[in-house]
Structure 1
Amino acid sequence: MTTTTEAPSSPKPAGKRSSNQAKRSSLAGFFGGALEYYDMYIYASASALVFSRVFFPDSGATGLLLSLATYGVAYLARPLGGFLAGHFGDRLGRKNVMIATLLVMGIATFLIGCLPAYDTVGILAPILLVVLRLAQGLSVGGEAAGSTSLTLEHAPEGKRGLYTSWMLNGIWVGYILATFAFLAVATLPEDQLLSWGWRLPFWMSAIIVVFGLIIRRTIEEPEAFTDKKANKEIARAPISELLRHQPLDVVRVIFAALLIVISSVVPVYGLTYATNVIGIPSSTMLWAAIFGYATALISQPLFAKLSDRIGRKPVLIAGNLIGAASVWQFFWAVSQANIPMIYLGVFLCITIGFGCANAVYPVFFSEMFNVKFRVSGMAIGLQIGIVLSGFAPSIIQALSTANDNAWWPACVFTTAACLISAIAISTARETHKVPLDQLGSRNL
C-alpha cells in the first residue's frame, strides 16, 4: 500500500511579506501624517482666526500675537518628543512609537475641542490650551522619525524615497481636511462660531485616529531592527551612542530642517497677514491654501521618485532655492490683494518649492543614521531645527508690527532659513544609492 505524505504548506515568501509590509507601513505613515497635521493645522487656523477672541479676549491688539504664540508652544515640546520617541523607538521598536504618538495627538486634539472659554473660567482656559498644545508637540515630535524609519526599513531598494513620501502626502491630506473643516464652520454666525462651531474640527479628529490605529496594529517591525534585537545589538542608550558616533549629522539635520519654515510662514502667517492687515476674506486664502496642498499631492511623489533616480541633495537644494525666491512673489501678491498672483505664489512656494523639500527631507534625514539610533538621530535633529518654524509666525508678526505692518520681514526670514538649509544639505553625504545596511556610521 502506497502512502502519501501531504507536503506542509510553505510559508509566504519573504519578498512577498516584505512588499506587503512596505505598503502597509506607507499607508500607516499616510494616516499618521494626516492625523498629526490635520490636528496641527486646525490649531493653526484656529489660532489665526478664532483663539484670540476665545482665549485672549481682554488682550486687545496683543491677543493675536498671544494666540500665534500658543501655536508655537508645541514646537518647544517637539524636541522632548523627539528624545522620547528616539529612545523608545530605537530600544523597543518603531511600531510602538507610531501607536503611542497617534493616541497622544488624538486625545489632546479632542480635549482642545472640549476646553471652556476665557469668559467661563478665566486664566485657566489659556493655561489648559497651552498644556494640551504641549501634548500635541510631544506627539508630533516623534511621529515623522518613527514612521519614516519604519517605512524606510521595509521599502525596496531604489524606491525608499517614493515609499516614505506617502507620509508627507498624508500631511497634505490632513491640511486639506483641516482647511475644509474651517471653511465649513466659518460660514456660521459669529456667536455660534465662537461658542461651539470652532470645536467641531477638533472633535472630528477622532475618526482619523480609529483608521490609523487599525492599520498600525497590522504592521510588523522591519528585519533591519529585529535582527539587531535578536543578536542583542540594540543600543542601551541610543542617544548617547548617536552623539558619540554621528554628532555632525545631528547638527546637519538641525540646520537642514530650517526648510520647514516655509510651511508655517506661507499658510499660517500668510493667512494672518492677508485677513488682518490687507482685508482679504479668510475663505479666499483658505481656498488658495487648498489649491497648494492638492497640487502638492501630485508633485511630491514625483519629486520623491526623482530623488530615487538623481539623488536627494539636488532635489532638496532646488526646493530651498525656489522657496527662498518665490516667497517674495507670494507676499507681494498678498499686499496687492491680487488673487490670481496669490495662487501663483502658493503654487511656487508650496507645490514646487516646499514640495521638493517636503517630499525628500524625511528619507534623507533618516538615511543619514545607523539603524541602531536612526529614530533618535532624525527625531532629535529635526525637532530641534523645527522649533524656529513654530515661532516663525509670531516672530514675523512682531517684526511686521514694528515696521508699519510691512510684508518684507516674512520674506527676509524665510529666505534666510531656506539658504541656511541648502548650505547644510550640501555638506551631507548623498545616500540614495547606499544599501540599507550601509547607511549611517560605518564603524558600528
Structure 2
Amino acid sequence: MTQPAIPKKTPARAAIASWIGTTLEYYDFAVYGTSSALIFNVLFFSPELPQGISVLLSMITFAVGYAVRPLGALILGPMGDRFGRKFVMLITLFGIGGCTFLIGCLPTFAQIGALAPILLVLIRVIQGLCLSGEQASAISMSLEHASDRRRGFITSFTTLGASTGTLLTLLVFIPIAAMPKEQLLAWGWRIPFWISAVVVVVAYLIRRHIEEPPEFIESRSTKVNVSPLKHLLRFHWRAVLRIVFCAVIAGTSYMMQTFSVAFATTGYGLDKPTMLLTTTVSAVIALGMTPLAGFLVDKIGRKTMFLIATVGVGITMAPYLWSITTGNWALIFTFGIINYSLFYSMVNASWPSFFAEMFPTRLRVSGLALGTQIGFAISGVIGPVLSTALAGADLKDWVGPSLIAIGFMVIAGISALTAKETVKYTMKELDNVHQSEREKAVVAAATVRPSDAPRDLAAQPGAK
C-alpha cells in the first residue's frame, strides 16, 4: 500500500490562512450584530411595533444563526476529520461570504412586508450552518502545523480574526452610521454586506495553497472503519460537554459587540458613531494583545490563562454596562478596553489550543466543532436576547444583563477546572493521553491494513 507523502509543517502559512478566514467569520458576525442593533429593527420589522420589541426581534434573528450551529457541526465536523481541514475551510469560506453578500441584497419590510424578516432568517440559517465548521477546521489546521512549543501562539492567530473582523466592520460602519438617516436606511446599510466579497476573494487566494497538516496525513495513512461522530460520542463525550460549558464565555463578547450598542444608543440615546468608536479602539488594542497572550499561553499554560481571562471578562462586564448609564465616555472607553482588549483577548488566545488539545487527531475537528458550536449557540442566544429582555422595554436596566455575564463566567470557570493542562505534551503524546486502552482496542480492531485489502483476482482461491 503506497503511503501518502507527508508535507512539511508550514505554521506561518497555516496561521495566516486561518486568520483571514476567521476575519471573514467575525466580519459577518460584527456586521450582522451591529446592523441588528442599529438598522434591522427599523428596516425589517413593522414600524407599528414598540422600539424595544423591534430591537428584541432583531436580536432573535441574530441568535438564529447561532441556534443552528450545532446541526452544522454534526455535518462539517466529521467532514473535516474524513476529507481534510482544508476541504471544510474552503466550503465554509464561500458559504459565509455568499450569505453575507445576499443579506445586503434583501428587500426590506417596506418593500415586501413580512417576507423580509423571513428571508433574513432563512439566510441566517444557511450561514449559521456554514459558520459551524470554520473555526474548528482552521484551529486544527494551525495546531497541527505548529511546533510543539508554539501551538498556543500559532493557534491564537485564528481568533485574532475576531478583532480584525470586528475592526474591519467598524471602520466600514462608522462612516456609514454617520450618513444622513434617509441615505443610511435607503442604501447605505447594504455596503458593509457587499464588502464581504472582497474578503472572500483574498481568503481564497491564501487558502488554496495551504497543505493539509502532517499529523492529519499520517492519521489517514491507515483507514479506520469507525464513524468519527460515533466514536467521538462514545469515548469523548466528556470533553465535548466540557467545551460546551467553557464556550459559553463567548456570550460576553456577543453582549459587548451587539447588546451594549443597542443598550447605549436606544436605551440612553448615546451617539452611535462614538459608541462604535469604543469597540473600534478595543479591537485595535486587541490586535496586539491576542498574539501576546498567545505567546504567554505557551509559557504559563492553556488552562491557567483561560481561567484568569474568564474571571476577568465576566467581572468587568458589570462596570462596563454601568458606565454606559452614566454617559461618561472616559469611563465607557476605559471599561470597554479592559473587558474586551485585555481579558477577552486572553480568552481568544487561550481557548483554541486549550479546546483542540482535548481530542486526538482523528477526532479533533468533530469534537472541537460540536463542543464549541453548542456552547456558542447557547451563549449566542442567551447573551443578546436575554440581556435585551432583562434590560426592560426601555433598555435601561444594566444589572440583569450584568448577572448574565457573571453566570457565563461561573459556568465556564467551573468547567475549565475539570480539564487537563496539555501545554507540556507533544502532539504525538496527546493522541495517547486522550485514548483509553479500550478505545485503542476498538480503533485497532476497526483499522484496515494492507493485508486486509482484497487481493488480485488471479490470487484468489479457485481463480483460473
TM-score when normalising by structure 2: 0.90
Q: Does the aligned pair in 2 maintain the 1:165–1:304 contact within 8 Å? A: yes
Q: Does the aligned pair in 1 maintain the 2:34–2:257 contact within 8 Å? A: no
Give the aligned partner of residue 7 of structure 1.
none
Give the aligned partner of residue 4 of structure 1.
none
- Please give the per-residue CA displacement for 1:25-54, whole angstroms capped at 9, x wherever unaligned: 111111001111101110001110000111
Give the counterpart letter for 1:215 in structure 2. I
2:22 aligned residue (30, 33, 36): 33
Query: How is 1:61-210 mapped onto 2 (pairs within 5 angstroms)?
Result: 61=51, 62-210=53-201
Give the aligned partner of residue 344 of structure 1.
334
Q: Does the aligned pair in 1 maintain the 2:325–2:396 contact within 8 Å? A: no
1:400 aligned residue (391, 395, 405): 391
Q: Does the aligned pair in 2 maintain the 1:41–1:175 contact within 8 Å? A: yes
Q: Does 1:335 align with 2:325?
A: yes
Give the aligned partner of residue 42 of structure 1.
31
Q: Distance in 2 between matches of 1:317 and 1:403?
A: 35
Cα deviation for residue 293 of structure 1 reads 0.8
Cα deviation for residue 388 of structure 1 reads 2.4
Q: Distance in 1 between matches of 2:272 and 2:169?
A: 14
Q: Distance in 1 between matches of 2:283 and 2:410?
A: 23
Give the counterpart letter for 2:309 in structure 1. G
Q: Distance in 1 between matches of 2:175 and 2:394?
A: 34
Cα deviation for residue 236 of structure 1 reads 3.8
- Post-superposition, which runs of at least 4 consecutive aligned residues in structure 1 deviate over 3 A? none
Q: Does the aligned pair in 2 maintain the 1:250–1:377 contact within 8 Å? A: yes
Q: Distance in 2 between matches of 1:179 and 1:83?
A: 32
Q: Does the aligned pair in 1 maintain the 2:101–2:193 contact within 8 Å? A: yes
Give the aligned partner of residue 352 of structure 2.
362
- Please give the per-residue CA displacement for 1:370-429, whole angstroms capped at 9, x wherever unaligned: 111100101001011111221211111111116973111111000111121011111101
Give the counterpart letter for 1:358 in structure 2. N
Q: Does 1:23 align with 2:23?
A: no
My pick for the range that moved more, 396-405 or 194-203, is 396-405
Q: Distance in 2 between matches of 1:271 and 1:49?
A: 8
Cα deviation for residue 262 of structure 1 reads 1.0
Give the counterpart letter for 1:361 in structure 2. W
1:55 aligned residue (28, 44, 51): 44
Q: Percent identity?
A: 37
- Gap regions ≥5 residues in structure 1: 1-12
CA-atom RMSD, angstroms? 1.5
Give the counterpart letter for 2:29 in structure 1. M
Give the aligned partner of residue 442 of structure 1.
435
Q: Distance in 2 between matches of 1:260 and 1:93?
A: 27
Q: Does the aligned pair in 2 maintain the 1:262–1:349 contact within 8 Å? A: no
- Please give the per-residue CA displacement for 1:95-131, whole angstroms capped at 9, x wherever unaligned: 0000000000011000000001111111111111001
Query: How is 1:209-358 mapped onto 2 (pairs within 5 angstroms)?
Result: 209-233=200-224, 236-358=226-348
Q: Distance in 2 between matches of 1:273 and 1:225?
A: 45
Q: Distance in 2 between matches of 1:256 and 1:428?
A: 10
Give the counterpart letter for 2:330 in structure 1. P
Change beyond 3 A, Cα 1:209–1:341 = same
My pick for the range that moved more, 383-392 or 32-41, is 383-392
Change beyond 3 A, Cα 1:410–1:214 = same
Q: Does the aligned pair in 2 maintain the 1:91–1:236 contact within 8 Å? A: no
Q: Distance in 1 between matches of 2:430 and 2:130?
A: 26
- Please give the per-residue CA displacement for 1:242-273, whole angstroms capped at 9, x wherever unaligned: 11111111110000001111101122111111
- Please give the per-residue CA displacement for 1:123-180, whole angstroms capped at 9, x wherever unaligned: 1111110011112211221111000001101101110011011111122111001111
* SS of the residue 1:434 aligns to: coil
Cα deviation for residue 57 of structure 1 reads 2.9
Q: Does the aligned pair in 1 maintain the 2:160–2:348 contact within 8 Å? A: no
* SS of the residue 1:110 aligns to: helix
Q: Distance in 2 between matches of 1:280 and 1:162?
A: 38
Give the counterpart letter for 2:367 in structure 1. G
Give the counterpart letter for 2:408 in structure 1. A
Q: How many residues align?
A: 428
Q: Distance in 2 between matches of 1:426 and 1:305?
A: 22
